[in-house]
Chain A
Amino acid sequence: MLPADPDRAIRYRDAVARIRGAGAEAAATELAGIAREVRRSIVRMIDRAQLGHIGGDLSVTDILVTCFWGALTLDPQRPTWEQRDRFILSKGHCAAALYSTLAHSGFFHTAELDTFMAPLSALNGHPNKIKVPGVETNTGALGHGFPVATGCAIAARLAGQTWRTVVVLGDGEMQEGSNWEAAMTAAHYGLSSLTAIVDRNRLQQGARTEQTKSLEPLGDKWRSFGWEVREVDGHDHLAVLEALAPSTNGQPVAVIANTVKGKGVSFMEDRVEWHHKVPTREQVALALGELGA
């Protein structure tokens, strides 16, 4: 298990307090700055590894940043603290975005990001909880994180504890039947402490979701399964934050976060080929320029 970065963990704690105590404008500004840093690390990691899923990493970044800095109760220096909120990235192929988020929160040192997918690195192409603090379950095969998150939420309720569980799903991933098994279970048990966020970037590996196996009407599907549904702009930190508010009707909450694959890098945005294409040196320089490096 990688050790925490205590200095950064303290800075994270201070930033969280600032963001949650601040007015909307100040919070939005600070979250946007963090997201820029997280994105820059992602681009550098993929450049160094010459591997990765850059499009989905960039579409999910604002969701991750809003969860970690705006909504969840976590302690990077105590990653297995019993009362922590559980965060599960079910779309595990976007490990670079998760690792960048975890490192910028102080769960481990940012220098470790340079080892992404290198031989014997803790930072495998898909997250491993045994090696990486802050990872709750090993994902990578799609359709796995949601049932595990459902089990976490059942456990919290059994113990009468108030911590919450958030799982982030890819939209293409919603084609996996196991997710709908979990959706039924969570609604049946009335797991109001469970939030499922769909990173709705409308693209999957080979084509648009609607051309591959259509998901729409996605909100209606969730509603018909018994979930409270909130649709937001997944790059608007304050809107995502608002959508992460507690359930209002005792049911689990589905947040459909409308996003853009490749968000933040103009030539990658909404283009199917950037699912796992690796940018050239020139493209990396352009990307970092656009991301304010």
Chain B
Amino acid sequence: MTVVDEVVTYDCRQAFAEELRALARADDRIVAVCNDSVGSSNLVGFREEFPERLINVGIAEQDLVGVAAGLANAGRIPFVCAAAPFLTGRALEQIKADVAYSEAHVVLCGQSPGMAYGELGPTHHSIEDLSWIRAVANLDVIVPADPAQTRAAVRWAASSGRPAYLRTPRFKVPAVTPADAPFAPGRAVRLTDGDDVTVIAIGSLTSRALEAAARLRAEGIGVRVLNMPFVDPIDTGAVLAAARETRGIVTAEEATTSGGLGAAVAATVVTGHPTAMRILGIPRVFAPTGSAAFLLDHFGLSADGIVDAVRDLLAGNG
């Protein structure tokens, strides 16, 4: 696939910020709440247009999430915009008690998730977030794969009336979802047809799954690529259909393998239709120094890594 270098890629924060501003113009309940993250969350334009509706609590994540819950109590729709590692790690109890358990319509926007901060190291990597957040009840977990899905996610989360965790990729991604792709809780997007193996990918790994599928197709291996914008609630029907109709499932995510997409798919498969799986992600190790691109490749979160996993699965190893 030599065209890869010519593919246009996007930092989804741009789409996120544009969509949030557009929504805010139409609905004055929308507010942004941040922790000194105006620049890193791309909120400069929002602040210029709606200075009163950007609430900056400074570097204080517990306060950040609590304040958002209070704003929701009084009828606002807060979009909490903060670096994902600090939002989820520092404020997890606020996310649980003030937002999810209190049924506050707060949209938790985890910026720069996964390995996005690369060289800054494990304090700044947000790879545990999906495991942490998925353990909390009453919280939708959304991982957009490209700018169109990011826009759809922002719109959906603003109108759902429910708490959500929205994990927008910063690692640059191409457009992967078709214009008529569904966007709804528990709805997968089928990106390619294939009956040999299913690859389920989210976020930044979606385009890599498509590249792997194209290479495998050239070898005569049919890969069904499913994208799951909602990790919770997951599309149980699509997962079980994949388990029945193909010879196994490979999952791929920019997160630890302990409790994210792979764990969600595995739990569905094990209890519904056991099949062979390979779970690609980051094992329970702290990453070495390197750029985001380097680290994704280092942990096999690449087209090569996905191709290898599919071959391994078809070979029946382990």
Interface size of A in residues (CB-CB distance below 8 Å) = 34
**Which residue of B has the minimal Cβ distance to A86?**
B73
Chain A positions 133-178 with a Cβ under 8 Å from a chain B Cβ: 136-141, 143-144, 146-156, 158-159, 165, 177-178
Chain B residues with CB below 8 A from A25, complex form: none
Q: Number of contacts between A and B (CB, 8 Å)?
A: 107
Is B73's CB under 8 angstroms from A137's CB?
A: yes
Is A155's CB under 8 angstroms from B70's CB?
A: yes
Quick check: is A78 within 8 A (CB to CB) of the other chain?
Answer: no
By size class, the interface of chain B is 20 to 34
Is A184's CB under 8 angstroms from B102's CB?
A: no
Query: How far is B66's CA from A148's CA once the two chains are assembled, in angstroms?
Result: 4
Which of B71, B94, B98, B102 touches A154 (beta carbons < 8 Å)? B71
The 8 A CB mask of B272-307 against A (1 = contact, 0 = none) is 000000000000000000000000000000000000
- 6 closest Cβ contacts across the A-B interface? A151-B70, A147-B66, A155-B74, A181-B63, A151-B67, A181-B60
Chain B positions 38-73 with a Cβ under 8 Å from a chain A Cβ: 52-53, 55, 57-58, 60, 62-73
Quick check: is A185 within 8 A (CB to CB) of the other chain?
Answer: yes
Interface centre among B69, B73, B94, B104 (most CB of A within 10 A): B73
Quick check: is A129 within 8 A (CB to CB) of the other chain?
Answer: yes
CB-CB under 8 A for A137 and B70, given A129-B102, A155-B75? yes
Chain B residues with CB below 8 A from A153, complex form: 70
Is A154's CB under 8 angstroms from B65's CB?
A: no
Which of B58, B62, B74, B102 touches A177 (beta carbons < 8 Å)? B62
Query: How far is B92's CA from A141's CA once the two chains are assembled, in angstroms?
Result: 12
Quick check: is B36 within 8 A (CB to CB) of the other chain?
Answer: no
Which of B52, B58, B67, B75 touches A82 (beta carbons < 8 Å)? B75
**Which residue of A has the minimal Cβ distance to B103?**
A130
Pull 13 A–B residue pairs with CB atoms less than 8 Å apart, ordered by A. Answer: A140-B97, A147-B64, A148-B67, A150-B63, A150-B66, A151-B67, A151-B68, A151-B72, A154-B67, A155-B73, A181-B58, A181-B62, A182-B67
Looking at chain B's contact residues, the main secondary structure is: helix
Query: How far is B67's CA from A252's CA once the two chains are assembled, in angstroms?
Result: 15
Interface centre among B57, B70, B101 (most CB of A within 10 A): B70
Which of A165, A177, A182 touches B66 (beta carbons < 8 Å)? A182
Query: How far is B63's CA from A153's CA once the two chains are assembled, in angstroms?
Result: 13
Which residues of B approach A to under 8 Å, CB–CB? 31, 52-53, 55, 57-58, 60, 62-76, 78, 93-94, 97-98, 101-104
Which residues of A approach B to under 8 Å, CB–CB? 82, 86, 128-130, 136-141, 143-144, 146-156, 158-159, 165, 177-178, 181-182, 184-185, 188
Chain B residues with CB below 8 A from A128, complex form: 101
Is A156's CB under 8 angstroms from B102's CB?
A: no
A38 to chain B, nearest CB (A): 25
Is A158's CB under 8 angstroms from B69's CB?
A: no
Query: How far is B65's CA from A147's CA once the two chains are assembled, in angstroms?
Result: 8
**Which residue of A has the minimal Cβ distance to B100?**
A138
Which of A143, A150, A156, A159 touches B67 (beta carbons < 8 Å)? A150
B100 to chain A, nearest CB (A): 9
Is B66's CB under 8 angstroms from A178's CB?
A: yes
**Which residue of B has the minimal Cβ distance to A82?**
B75
Chain A residues with CB below 8 A from B65, complex form: 147
Chain A residues with CB below 8 A from B69, complex form: 137, 147-148, 151
B59 to chain A, nearest CB (A): 9
**Which residue of A has the minimal Cβ distance to B55?**
A154
A106 to chain B, nearest CB (A): 22
Chain B residues with CB below 8 A from A185, complex form: 57-58, 60, 63, 67
Is B98's CB under 8 angstroms from A136's CB?
A: no
Chain B residues with CB below 8 A from A136, complex form: 73
CB-CB under 8 A for A148 and B73, given A181-B60, A181-B63? yes
CB-CB under 8 A for A147 and B31, given A141-B97, A185-B58? no
Chain A residues with CB below 8 A from B58, complex form: 181, 184-185, 188
Task: Beyond A147-B63, A151-B74, A184-B63, list 11 extra A-B contacts (CB 8 Å).
Answer: A82-B74, A129-B103, A137-B73, A144-B93, A144-B98, A152-B74, A154-B55, A158-B53, A165-B70, A182-B63, A188-B58
